Amino acid sequence: MILLKPTQEQLNHVQEFTNAYQQNGYGKNVLGVSYDEYISFIRIGKLCELVFANYLRQMQIEFIAPDMLKPHPGNHKKGADLILSHSSQEVDIKAANKSFHKRILIREDQFQAHVHDIYIGAKYCSDEQVEFYGYSLGADMLKIEPKDFGYGLCRYMMLDALKPIEKFIRMCQQKITI
């Protein structure tokens, strides 16, 4: 696991991003949670993306993510969070966001709309700490029978069952396809 601390700049960017969702009514709350919790999910997910992208830059891993800070006015964001330059693999970052969360969840409707090459499992602890556990290949997620954990049918994987994030970083640095 890799522990990272969000920067003030990242916190500021994520606040601006979240404000755009609130002020413009972007997105669609399909999770059956309160509006405030829905906005919190958006905020935490985006913060994990920004923190991970910054870490990849520090590790000199090239990627493209031109729309990372662009709010999506439609009901659902389409496309990957980032694309690895060396392999063109699409990466989607999934964030567990409560202290008792121990797995990543990928809503089945989102998964069926587009299976990403790689899913990164993160755990938001606070604005002071985000943990990155590991990764799973989309092909492996296809083998998992969806379950409902209170947010509709989801593909899932326990954070501690993910392949180590350190392996992902090493493979990227060596420009190996994951």
Q: What gap in Å lies between CA 1 and CA 52, rounded to an integer?
A: 13
* Nearest to 2, CA basis, from 123, 114, 178: 123
Confidence at residue 116, expressed as pLDDT on a 0 to 100 scale: 96
Q: What's residue 71's pLDDT?
A: 87
What pLDDT does residue 124 have?
A: 97
For the chain (length 178 residues), average pLDDT per consecutive 10? 98 95 80 84 96 98 93 73 97 90 90 94 97 98 93 92 98 98
Give domain limits for the chain: 2-173
Beta bridge partners of 136: 119
Residue whose entry in the numeric block shows the structure tokens 């989309």: 138
Please tell me the distance from the alpha carbon of residue 96 to that of residue 78, in angstroms, as a whole number.
Answer: 20
Rounded distance, CA 124 to CA 170, Å?
A: 23
> pTM for this one?
0.93
Residue 97: the pLDDT is 85
